[in-house]
């Protein structure tokens, strides 16, 4: 019995994830702006990022020019988008198997909204200095912009969306080449994909730290939780239930009659 995608749940989930995640991020940015105004009125100074030992002890990020930091921020997003697009292309060229891509969507359902919602329970200063002004977050009590704004949020969520996407799509890459190829064995391909994924994630993490894009705790937490979700045994089961259906193909009645008739003629 062949497998077919459930298009309506898939499309609804895709659009809801895109909208809800951005909407929640905008609300977090609004709360960040309100906290910044409250802090400024109380202490007469702007909100400052929390101390991170990688910034203050090991990496001299304060010596990096601010213009270069903005360029590094763009690099993180660009590298993540390019990496994901290349893996999706590989997936398309290797047969477009439904279950691996359904697992990607399932992991996004669990991870993106839940970590965004967690920030509602507390206010953590963003790792990027002057994040509110850099990202043009309105500093007033008007909330109408949270429905229409599309862009980076301010308000660290103990979570890195870019690193999460890298881990999720590395898993997709591994599943795409699960059977190996003609010139190298299954184990060799799996090992090379994992090493490449780890190296690339480490590279993007280093750029994100240099740009003050995330706290170091965010990156470690994201890698751990995302790997746990993508490798959990329930993920493929939920993905198959939500986004894949089994189709029973039945033969035409006339074809069955013709086959019976041919068999009888041969017997005679």
pLDDT of the chain along its 268 residues, tens only?
577 778 888 889 888 888 888 888 888 889 888 888 887 777 777 778 887 776 655 555 555 555 566 677 888 989 999 999 999 998 888 777 888 899 999 999 988 877 777 777 778 888 887 888 888 888 888 888 989 888 888 887 778 889 999 999 999 998 888 755 545 555 687 888 889 999 999 999 888 887 778 888 888 889 999 999 999 889 989 998 888 887 765 545 554 444 444 444 544 4
C-alpha span between 84 and 75 (Å, rounded): 14
pLDDT (0 to 100) of residue 169: 95
pLDDT (0 to 100) of residue 255: 46
Identify whether the C-beta of residue 98 lies closer than 8 Å to the C-beta of residue 3: yes
C-alpha span between 206 and 222 (Å, rounded): 14
Return the beta strands (E) in 143-267 as ranges: 244-246
Query: Global pTM?
Result: 0.81
Q: Would you kindly state where each structural domain of the chain is located, as residue ranges?
A: 3-144+153-240
Q: Using CB atoms within 10 Å of the CB of residue 183, give its burial: 0 to 12 exposed, 13 to 18 middle, 19+ buried.
A: exposed
Identify whether the C-beta of residue 162 lies closer than 8 Å to the C-beta of residue 76: yes
Pairing of strands 244-246, 3-5: antiparallel
DSSP conformational letter for 247: -
């Amino acid at each position: 019995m062949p497998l077919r995608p459930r298009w309506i749940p898939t499309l609804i989930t895709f659009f809801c994830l895109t909208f809800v995640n951005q909407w929640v991020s905008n609300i977090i940015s609004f709360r960040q702006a309100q906290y910044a105004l409250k802090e400024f009125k109380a202490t007469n100074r702007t909100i400052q990022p929390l101390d991170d030992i990688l910034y203050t002890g090991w990496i001299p990020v304060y010596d990096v020019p601010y213009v270069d930091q903005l360029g590094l921020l763009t690099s993180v997003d660009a590298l993540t988008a390019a990496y994901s697009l290349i893996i999706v292309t590989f997936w398309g060229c290797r047969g477009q198997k439904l279950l691996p891509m359904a697992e990607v969507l399932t992991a996004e359902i669990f991870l993106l909204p839940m970590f965004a919602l967690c920030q509602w329970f507390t206010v953590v200063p963003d790792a990027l200095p002057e994040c509110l002004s850099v990202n043009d977050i309105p500093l007033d009590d008007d909330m109408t912009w949270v429905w229409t704004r599309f862009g980076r949020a301010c308000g660290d969520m103990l979570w890195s969306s870019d690193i999460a996407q890298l881990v999720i799509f590395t898993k997709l890459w591994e599943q795409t080449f699960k059977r190996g190829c003609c010139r190298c064995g299954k184990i060799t391909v799996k090992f090379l994909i994992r090493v490449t994924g780890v190296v690339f994630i480490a590279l993007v993490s280093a750029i994100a730290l240099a740009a003050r894009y995330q706290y170091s705790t965010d990156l470690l937490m994201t890698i751990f939780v995302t790997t746990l979700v993508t490798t959990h045994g329930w993920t493929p089961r939920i993905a198959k239930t939500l986004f894949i259906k089994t189709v029973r193909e039945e033969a035409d009645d006339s074809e069955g009659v013709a086959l019976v008739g041919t068999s009888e003629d041969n017997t005679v």
